[in-house]
Structure formats: structure tokens, C-alpha cells
Chains A and B, each alone.
Chain A
Amino acid sequence: MSVPTDSPTAGHESERAATREAPLALRMIGISKTFGSTRALVEVDLDVRPGEVHALVGENGAGKSTLMKVLSGALQPDAGRMILQGRPYAPRGPLDARDARVAMIYQELSLAPDLSVEENVLLGAEPTALGFVRRRHMRSQVEEALRLLHHPDIRPGARVGDLSIGAQQLVEVARALAAKARVVVMDEPTSSLGQADTEVLFEVIRRLRDSGVSIIYISHFLEEVRAVADRFSVLRDGRAVGTGEVASTPTSEIIRLMVGRELAEMYHRTPHEIGPVVLDLSALTGRKMPQNADLALCRGEILGIAGLIGSGRTELVRAVFGLDEVVSGQVRVDGLSTTGWKPPRMLKRGVGYLSEDRKTEGLAENLTVVDNLTLSRLEPYVSFGFLSRRRAREAAREWIRRLGIRTRGPDQPITGLSGGNQQKVALARLLHQEADVLLLDEPTRGIDVGSKVDLYALIGELAAQSKAILWISSYLPELLGVCDSLAVMHRGLLSEKRPVSDWTPEAIMRVATGGDASSPEPAAPEPAAEAAGHTPQRNASESPDPHPDEEAGE
């Protein structure tokens, strides 16, 4: 019954039409979950029919993963209930979910690389007799699951760590099959797969669906949703904002549901003048990402980089700053090539980098405000090899005043400050090291609204002091509200930079999700085409040009 069968293609339609009448495979009713002061889920309803692929879409942080954790029993909801196959369902952990035949396939592969395929497929559910693993039983169960996947080519005895990523993903699907799952959740299953492996996975998903399994498919990539899903539900800010049939809903409508925010009146612009190019990237290519990134950043310019998490934005700035290897292409600062320079030289050259990971990379957690602030440039306070703590403290006091950092004083441990004030200290460090080019990676992530407004104003003032700012953010309204120009990244490819007035949230999301480029909206037809186009042409047409634009950014 639960085992997918190789039913012939004829008759699928009637079968699936019949299942529509059947009771729902899963109902989630009024699910709410609060973490501290954040409302991650607010009375979310989700209905999944038997034998359908149901796409769950939404921006980063919309609550998709939280909702699925509730489904898998990893989190307990504060309110709401679930009905699975017509029966109440309240899992207390992964074992309950498995017993109820709900399977999760996570974004990060959850496999034990040192074990064999068969051991991974049946991990935690091995057939045993007196504690001994019944190998022959195990082998036949796993071979059955792999056969249903149409992948008998994967040897059950192979070590999983020796398989390609695509094959590993299939092993995870085999695990769901072997558990005879009726509801399979796939959380961004293609994020680590190439094109060919993605196609293979879609084949498998369709076969599973045709055998009556319900699949909840989480993705940002609308092209994938269109390719594989029957219905969709959109989450935004922890609320379910819409659901419908994929076939009868235009992509632009789904995007509108996903974005749906109004630009608030929190973006105060300080007038600033755009000067000459200071940071110039040509065909910059890293180990995996970015690919052939071209970009020119001018003095006094605030340039936003939009895109989804994992699209290669962080890799781009890390390559510029010399933290990651540059495979090919050029980085120039003030016309001088700095390709392959290490961070200390970049610092001296006036380039500063603010890590997205404030906790582990951005700040030294157990040091004080003054230590963190002056860490990257101690020279002014050193005489004859001795550090004058008094002078460093005085300087720190000055920065605390200028940036309005709320702290008890320079000697307070950094962990005693709020997130927003910690971020101001991190930013003050870049200014203290006299950086002219500021690479800011998600500077407003996880800080309160008040601090965000302060940071927006500060960034505007810095631009007015003709500093150049490269600003990565996943929050579109702030990019649209503060930046002069914007570029969008999608799977390692950087779109052309355009003035911010040329962009709409929908256009940005379309490029960022690789959405349908063939139906351009009037607002921004070109960036969409850009993202859909692939590297080779860009490579051929642009990389020979050694110094693309002298007068960019007017």
C-alpha cells in the first residue's frame, strides 16, 4: 500500500483525480510558535492532499523550516494541532514522526558518511535478531527501496562518503521510502545538486507522488516549484498568506505574495555625491562562487547586493577581501590590482570587511568594547612596543560618542551590549581602521528596529564622507530604501548593477530566485534576462576588457 508502485502512465490522471476527493493527507491547523519575542509562526494552516507535491515557499526567515520542525516533532508548537491521515498527530520527536510515516529530507544531507548505503537507509531501524544486524534482510529491503527509486545502480554496500552529492541525496530519499513514508518533507533538496542530479530527483519526486505519497517541497526557487509542484502555499513573516494551484497562478503573483511588504518610512537619506570608481571587480571567480563577477563601486556610493542565502554574496566579498581564494579575474582598489592580497594588506589599503557572522567571526566575544574596537589598528596607541590602554580607551570613548553606542563604557565586555550596539562596535572598528571601502555583510541581521534605523542613517553619513559601501542584505526594503544602486546574485552569478529606481521587489525576487525570465515586467526586464543567461556569453564578451568603466555610477 504505502510502497510506490510502477504503475503505468495511463490512468495517472484518473487516479489523481480520485485522490482529490479523498481526505487530506495532512492538516496543520492554527500552528503558532514564539521564540523569545519573535513570533516565528502565527496561526498557520496548511492542507496537503494525498499524492500531491505541495510547494512551501517564502523568503528567508518566513517560518518554513520552523513549520516543518513542528511537523517532524523537533519543535513543539505553542498552539494548534495536526491531523495526519485523518488521525490526530502530535509528535514528540523524530521517532514518533517515523512511526507515523512522516519523513524529512533536510537541506544539509543527514547521512553518516562512514557507513554504507544500506546502513544509512535503515539507520536506527535496522532489522536485528538478538542484537545482530540481519544483513541479508537489510540488503533486500534496501535493494527494494533503490529499485523503487529506479536507481539499482547505487550499490547498497558502497560507503556513502564515496558517493556523489546527487547519489547521496537519493540515499536520503531511499531512507524515506524504506520507512514507507506517506508524507515526505524535502527542505531545499536541490541546494547542493547540479542540473543533472536535480532532474533525477524531480523524476523520483514525480514517481513518489504518482504512487500516492504526499511531498512537501520547500524551495526559494520558483522555477523548481513550477517544474515539480502541483499546489503551493506561501509563508510570509510567520503567517500563511496564500495557497493555490501552481498551474493556474502566474509566477509574479507568487512573488507578490512572498514579498508583500510596504516600504516603511524608516529610510532617511543623507544627500551624498558619487565620485570616481574605487573598487573594481572584473570577471572575479572564486573556487565555487562567485562566477565571473563584474562590479564597479564608486566613492560615496551605497551599492546593495541582494540575493538569497547561499547565492554566493558572502563568497563574493570574502574573495574581494582576500579571505577566500580567487581562481581567476581581477580585484582593483583605486586602480591598483589587489587580486590575491591577504586581509592585512587589504586593511592597509583601506578596505574593511564586516562579517555576517557577528558571534564567531565579527567580534571577539570575551573581550571588551575597547579591545574589539581597536583590535585591527593598535599602532596609534603603541609607543616603544608598549600599548597605552589609557589612550586606546580615550579613542574608544570618542567612537562610542560618535556612533551613539549604548554601553557602560569602553571596558564593558562586548557580550553585555545589545545586538545592535555590538554591530555598531564592529562598524566602528572598520571606521577606526580608516577604511574607505566598507564591505558590509548582513549588517542589520538580528538587530532591533531602532538600531537598524541608526545604522541606515550612519551608512548614509559615511557615503556623504565619500566612503564606498558594498552592502549585502536579504531584507529587500532596506536595500531599496537606502542604496543608490543594486545588483542581485543568483547561484554565484552577479547581475548587472542598476540604479535602485530601476528595481522593484518583484524584479529582484525574480532574478534572485531565477524566476521566469521570459515574461519580463516593465520595471526591470534586463536584470531578469541577465540572471537567466549563463556565464559563457558574459565570459566571452566582457572578460577581455581590462578596465571596463572609468565613469560608472553616475
Chain B
Amino acid sequence: MTRDSQPELLETPRQAAHRRIINLLGPMIGLVLVVFAGGIAEQRMEGSLNYWSPQNQCLILTQTVTVAIGAIGMTLVIISAGIDLSAGSVIALAAVASAWTVRELAPAGLAGLGGFEAVWVPVVAVIAGVAIGCLAGGANGFLITRLKLAPFIITLGMMTFARGAAKGIANMQRIDAPLNWISEFTAANLVLFRTNFHRVYDLPLLGEVHIGWVGPVAISPAVVAAVALAIGAAVLLGRMRFGRHVFAIGSNEATARLCGIRVERTKWLIYALAGMTFGLAGVTDFGRLSVGDPTTAMGKELDIIAAVVIGGGSLSGGAGSVFGSLIGALLMAHLRNLCVHLGLPNYVQEMVVGAVIVVAVTVDRLRQRRRD
């Protein structure tokens, strides 16, 4: 066999490593650009720099939690070449379910109960939220694999179904649950440090800026929980057999089947796990609002899907990363926060987010084309 008959790698190992880094860096660079340009825009328009303050940056982290947790599950689904449109509704369903649980178990409020109940009633509520998410996701997976219908259709149905169920449980109203530790858990009360900058600075490039960075810099404990969950999901996807099968199914389902992977069971599990993350996201939503609102998280599924795609997930399957998705979620939160800081009305916010979703999907297509 001659040397020139050897099949050649299209990429050297070094190039492959570079590409992987660029793929992960891409969303990161996008985020940095948004933050950088946002600060400059704020200075120009408002003369202040509150958007850049550590207080605000940590506030954004806290605000991202719901979308970020949902994006972890959605990453699994999208890597397997599926989609879950029911995410937003399942979040609402779980929020209502956990609020209902707290209200039913402690109708008089938790203050009057002993320490034991004050701890365990909300725990039961969290479990209820996650369980109902798991149920909805499991139903999605079951129907997708049994009816052999497109995930788009099944989860579209679930989107409406779960929203209806949420309204049913809440009796067409919001459920006011007594205050409990879930609210504490999702509120920004984990103080990292304090800053005290309060004057007019003359900065290079930016010129004269009013800076008022005063007070504690705090995140919510839920941010830590979300990061821990993400690490767990990344290990699941990268190091465990199940995770690699998720990639195999998204990359080439027929091959996965030929190689003896139990495609149906794996898919079923993917949607159930995703449903659990949506359930957990719903619990954080309930904690943040401290009511169970059946109309919450309308359209949140699009933010979540956009976060995954921005983070390198491919809608045609086989590609995606949990940390990329987290960065994507952060980017979406930054855009919304930035619009507030620039004093732009709500409708502009929505238009910007819509445009970003289209851009993200276009970038996904371009990435796809380059690979072929």
C-alpha cells in the first residue's frame, strides 16, 4: 500500500481542537460583545453605566435561572434532533402545581407551623413541580415514539394541553401560596461582596460617566443550583453511555438503530428528563413570583430554544453543549436587561429578541453548510 493511497483526514488534530474552541468561544464572544456595546450605548444615551455594574450583572444571573434550567433539558432534546415546544407551558404547569401543593398543605401559612413543616412542605412542592414536568415530558416522549409523529406536533399539542391543565389546577386564577423558602432560594440574597462607587468618572473612550455602583452584590442560591445541574448534565452528555447515545440518535438515527441502541427508550428518557428540567424551572418561576400563575412563561420555550441554538446546538441534531446553552440563556437575559437600561419600551425588547432568534437559527444553518 503506497503512502498516497492513505485516506486523509480533512482536519489535523490541531485544527479540530481549534474549531472546537471556536465553537465554544463563539457564543462567549457574542456575549462579551453585547455587554461591551450595551455599556457604551448606555453611556451615550443615558450618561450612566449601571448596566455594567456588578450589582446588575448578578441580577441578570438571578433572572436567567428559569430559562437556564430549561435550556439544560432542551439541550438534550435538540441534540437528539428533536424539539420541545411545550417548555413554557410545562413551566407554568409546574409553577401552579407547586404553589397549589404549598397552599393545600399549609393553608394557614407556614409561619404558624413548626420548623419541620416549614422545611418539608416546600420540598414536597418542589417534588410535585418536578414530577409533573416529568409526567408531561414522559407523555411527550411516549407519544413521539409510539405514534411515530414529529416532536414538533406532539409538543405543540402538549403546549396547549399543559397550559389548559395549569389553568384548571389554578381554577382560572393565580394561586397565592404562603411565603416559603422557595422564594428565599430564588431571591438574590446570597451576598458575594459590596461595592461603593458613587461619583462622576472621566473614563478613557467613554468620557464622562455617572457611576452609582453602591450596595451588596448578590445572586440567588438558585444560580448555584443551576450551575451544579449544568455540570451534572454535561457529565451525563459527555461521559455517560446515555449521553453519547443522545448524540448518536441526533447524528444519525438509522445508524443508532442498526447499532442496537434502543432508540425509542432513549428518546422517551430524553423528553422525560427535559420535562423534569422544565418542572424545576417552573418551581423557580413560582419562587421568584411567589404565586402560581397559569399564564406565566408564555413563549418562554422560544427563549429556551434560542438559548440552546445560540450556544451551538444544531436544530438538525448531533451538536450542542450544556455550557454553550447557558451562555446562550445569559445572552438572551442580557438583551432584555439592556433594553430596560436603555429605556427602550417593551415592544422593542420583543422585536430585538425575535430578531436574535432568527439570527441564531441562520447562524446554525451557516454552520451546518460549512460542515458539509
| Chain A residues with a Cβ under 8 A of chain B | 93-95, 98, 104, 106, 110-115, 119, 123-126, 128, 131-133, 135, 150-151, 153-155, 157-159, 161-164, 166-167, 170, 175, 196-197, 199-200, 203
Contact = CB atoms under 8 A, between A and B. Distances in A.
Contacts of A128: 240-241
Interface string B3-23: 011111111010010000000
B1 A199 contact: yes
Contact of A164 (B1, B9, B240, B257): B9
Interface centre among A94, A98, A115 (most CB of B within 10 A): A115
A114 B7 contact: no
A150 B252 CA distance: 27
B195 interface: no
Contacts, number: 111
A490 to B, nearest CB: 23
Nearest to B79: A114
A203 B7 CA distance: 13
A155 B13 contact: yes
Contact-size category for B:
20 to 34
A126 B319 CA distance: 20
A199 B241 contact: no
A95 B247 CA distance: 20
Given A155-B9, A200-B6, A114 B251 contact: yes
B239 A115 contact: no
B254 interface: yes
A133 B239 contact: yes
Nearest to A161: B371
Contacts of A151: 6-7
Contacts of B261: 123-124
A159 B319 CA distance: 12
B16 A133 contact: no
B260 A124 contact: yes
Nearest to B249: A112
Contacts of A132: 239-241
Contacts of B257: 94
Contact of A126 (B6, B11, B13, B241): B241
Given A125-B260, A154-B9, A200-B5, 17 more contacts: A106-B258, A111-B252, A112-B251, A115-B248, A119-B248, A124-B260, A126-B241, A128-B241, A132-B240, A132-B241, A153-B6, A158-B13, A159-B16, A161-B371, A166-B7, A167-B7, A170-B7
Contacts of B6: 151, 153, 200
A123 B259 contact: yes
Given A94-B260, A113-B251, A123-B248, A164 B8 contact: yes
B265 interface: no
B66 to A, nearest CB: 29
B141 interface: no
Contacts of B256: 112, 123-124
Nearest to A175: B259
Given A98-B260, A162-B16, A133 B240 contact: yes
Contact of B247 (A112, A150, A164, A196): A112
A104 B259 CA distance: 10
B173 interface: no
Given A124-B259, A158-B9, A131 B241 contact: yes
Contacts of A164: 7-10
Contacts of A203: 1
B4, B244, B256, B317: residue with the most chain A Cβ atoms closer than 10 Å: B244
Nearest to B241: A128
B1 A112 contact: no
A124 to B, nearest CB: 3
Contacts of A162: 9-11, 16
Contacts of A95: 260
B242 interface: yes
A154 B8 CA distance: 8
Nearest to B236: A131
A135 B235 CA distance: 13
B318 interface: yes
B282 interface: no
B339 to A, nearest CB: 35
Contacts of A131: 240-242
A115 B248 CA distance: 7
Nearest to B253: A112
A158 B251 contact: no
B250 interface: yes
A151 B5 CA distance: 11
Contacts of B245: 124
B160 interface: no
A132 B241 CA distance: 6
A125 B259 contact: yes
Contacts of B9: 154-155, 158, 162-164, 167
Contacts of A104: 258
Nearest to A150: B1
B313 to A, nearest CB: 12
Contacts of A158: 9, 11, 13, 16
